[in-house]
Amino acid sequence: MADSIEDVFIQQINKNLGIAHKICRVYFTDADDRDDVLQEMMYQLYKSYRSFDGRSKFSTWMYSVCLNTAITYRRKGIKQKYEPLTLSHDQLVDPPSSNKDEEINMLFEAIATLPSLNKAIILLYLEDLSYEEISDITGLSKSNVGVRLVRIKKDLEREMKKRIKYNEDVNL
């Protein structure tokens, strides 16, 4: 089974590995969950690779498989008992090296507050996928993707402004 892993598959996976890592970062805050789901993604990609017919780009297909896996992944029961992190917990993180990094970190944190489907949509949008590709991956119509994106951007802006204000208040 595993001996038949094709070189081209490994090359493609490595070339697009950032996709799996970003999806993990957006969907999971716990490091163990991230590791576990990353392995599950690799397994699902391997299992599904034979049915990949090349009609879509490898990266689009990889987004699809990784998102399917992340969205339906079931956390280990005991971890769900922990309270989610609050804004004040974020202060424990090492300070980012620049304003840009800080904004990107905030963007990741803001995305993490969205419902599952909206996380997927904004992630695909930020990755510069077209509405058509987002529609192909999610199963939503193109117009619905557009409508949702407007609302998601507003939600993210609100969330990020809240975080910026909180950071400013803390630093005063």
Partner 1 sequence: MKMSTFEELKKMWGANPENAQVHKPYDHKTLENIIKSRTKKNMKKSMHYFWGALFLQILVYALLSHVIVKYGADTKTLFAGIAGMLLYIPLNILLMKKFKQMAILKPAQGNSGRTLFQYILQQRALLQSFYTFKKRYELLLIPLSTGIGVFLTFKLFVPGGIEENPTGAIITFLITVAGMVASIRLENKKSFEQPLNDLNRLLDEFQAEE
Q: What's the rounded Cα separation, in Å, for the pair 118 and 65? A: 17
Nearer to partner 1, 46 or 131 (CB): 46
Among 30, 52, 155, 166, the residue binding partner 1 under the rule CB under 8 A is: 52
Interaction of residue 21 with partner 1, rule CB under 8 A = yes
- Residues shown for the chain: 172
Q: For the segment 94-133, give every residue that binds partner 1 (CB under 8 A).
A: 99-104, 107, 115-118, 120, 125-128
Q: What's the rounded Cα separation, in Å, for the pair 134 and 149? A: 11
* Minimum distance, C-beta of residue 88 to partner 1, in the bound complex (Å): 18
Q: What's the rounded Cα separation, in Å, for the pair 11 and 146? A: 33
Tokens of 163: 């975080």
* Stretch of 14-22, 26-34, 87-95 contacting partner 1, by CB under 8 A: 14-22
Q: What's the rounded Cα separation, in Å, for the pair 32 and 54? A: 33
Residue 170: exposed, middle, or buried by beta-carbon count in 10 A (0-12, 13-18, 19+)?
A: exposed
- Interface contacts to partner 1, rule CB under 8 A: 1-3, 5, 10, 13-15, 17-18, 21-22, 39-40, 42-44, 46-48, 51-53, 61, 64-65, 67-69, 71-72, 74, 77, 99-104, 107, 115-118, 120, 125-128, 136-140, 144, 147-148, 151, 153, 156-157, 160-161, 164, 167-168
